[in-house]
Structure 1
Amino acid sequence: MKKILKTMEMMKTENIWMSLESDTSSHTGLLYKRYDAKVIPDVFIAIKAPEKLRCIAFRISVSFSFDENQWNKLKDIKVETMPDERDKSKKFLLILLLNKQHKDIFSTLCEDLIFGVSEVASEKSLVEKLFERLAKWQSLFEKVGNQGLSDEAQRGLYGEVFFLREFLENSSDKNYCLKSWLGPERSIQDFQYSNWAVEVKTTHGNNHQKIHITSERQLDDSIIEKIFLYHLSLDVRIGNGESLNSLIDNVLESLSNSTMAGNLFQFKLLESGYYEVHRQLYEEYGYTIRQENLYKVAGNFPRITESQIPIGVGDVKYSIVLSESEEWRISQDTLFCEINPK
Structure 2
Amino acid sequence: MADIINRILETWESLLDEPGAGSQSARYRISGSPRFGAYLAIRFDDRAPVLEFGPITPDLLKDAPLPSIKGVDSDLSYHNQELFLSLTLKQSAAIDIFLTLAARLSDDLSGVDYPITGYNVIRRVLVVWRAFFSSEKKVLSGSEQTGLAGELILATMFIDNGIEVPTVIRAWKGSERSHHDFQLPLASVEVKATIAHNIETVSISSLRQLDPTGTQKLFLAQVAVDSHDHGDQTLPHLVSDIRQRLSSFPADRLEFEEKLLESGYRDKDESNYAQRSFQVRKVRAFSVDENFPKLTYDTIPEGIVEAAYQVNLGTVALQALTFDDLMLAISSNQND
Partners in 2 of 1:93 and 1:129 — Cα distance? 13
Which residue is equivalent to 1:24? 19
- The answer to whether the 8 A contact 1:148-1:274 is kept is yes
Question: Which string of whole-angstrom CA distances, capped at 9 and with x for unpartnered residues, describes residues 180-213 of structure 1?
Answer: 1111111111112556311000122243221111
1:192 aligns with 2:183: yes
Residue of structure 2 equivalent to 1:15: 10
Structure 1 residue 112 corresponds to structure 2 residue 104: yes
* Conserved 8 A contact 2:207-2:308: yes
Give the alignment's Cα RMSD to 1 decimal.
3.2
TM-score by length of 2: 0.85
Q: Distance in 2 between matches of 1:97 and 1:34?
A: 18
> In 1, distance between residues paired with 2:176 and 2:277?
25
For structure 1, the residue ranges without an aligned partner over 5 or more in a row are 1-6
- Quote the Cα distance in structure 2 between the aligned partners of 1:226 and 1:40: 48
Q: Is the 1:72–1:78 Cα contact (8 Å) retained in structure 2?
A: no
* Pair 181,279 (structure 1): closer, same or farther in 2 beyond 3 Å: same
Is the CA contact (8 Å cut-off) linking 2:226 and 2:281 kept in structure 1? yes
SS at match of 1:309: coil
Name the residue aligned to 2:253: 262
Whole-Å separation in 1 of the counterparts to 2:122 and 2:104: 11
Q: Are the aligned partners of 2:228 and 2:276 in contact in 1 as well (CA < 8 Å)?
A: yes
Does the residue aligned with 1:61 lie in a helix, a strand or coil?
A: coil
Whether contact under 8 Å (2:5, 2:254) holds in the other structure is: no
Check the 8 A contact 2:165/2:245 in 1, yes or no.
no
Q: Residue in 1 aligned with 2:304?
A: 313
Name which of structure 1's ranges 177-186 and 121-130 shifts more when overlaid on structure 2.
121-130
**Cα distance between partner residues in 1 of 2:56 and 2:239:** 42
Determine if contact 2:186/2:332 at 8 Å carries over to the other structure: no
Mark the CA change 1:256 to 1:80 in structure 2 (over 3 Å): closer, same or farther: same
CA contact (8 A) 1:72 1:79 kept: no
Aligned equivalent of 1:280: 271
CA contact (8 A) 2:5 2:103 kept: no
Gaps of 5+ in 2: none
Q: CA deviation at 1:315?
A: 1.5
Indicate how the Cα distance of structure 1 residues 129 and 333 shifts in structure 2: closer, same or farther if over 3 A, else same: farther
Percent identical residues? 25
Given candidates 131, 138, 159, the residue that maps to 1:168 is 159
Superposition TM-score, scaled by structure 1 size: 0.83
CA distance in 1, matches of 2:197, 2:332: 38
For 1:249 and 1:71, the matched residues in 2 are separated by 34
Secondary structure of the 1:308 match is coil
Q: CA deviation at 1:32?
A: 2.3
* Paired AA for residue 102 in structure 1: A
Per-residue deviation, 1:19? 2.0
**Structure 2 residue identity aligned to 1:92:** F
Deviation at 1:39, TM superposition (A): 10
Quote the Cα distance in structure 2 between the aligned partners of 1:222 and 1:10: 36
What is the Cα deviation at residue 121 of structure 1?
5.2
Equivalent pair of 1:68/1:79 in contact (CA under 8 Å): no
Structure 2 counterpart of 1:141:
133
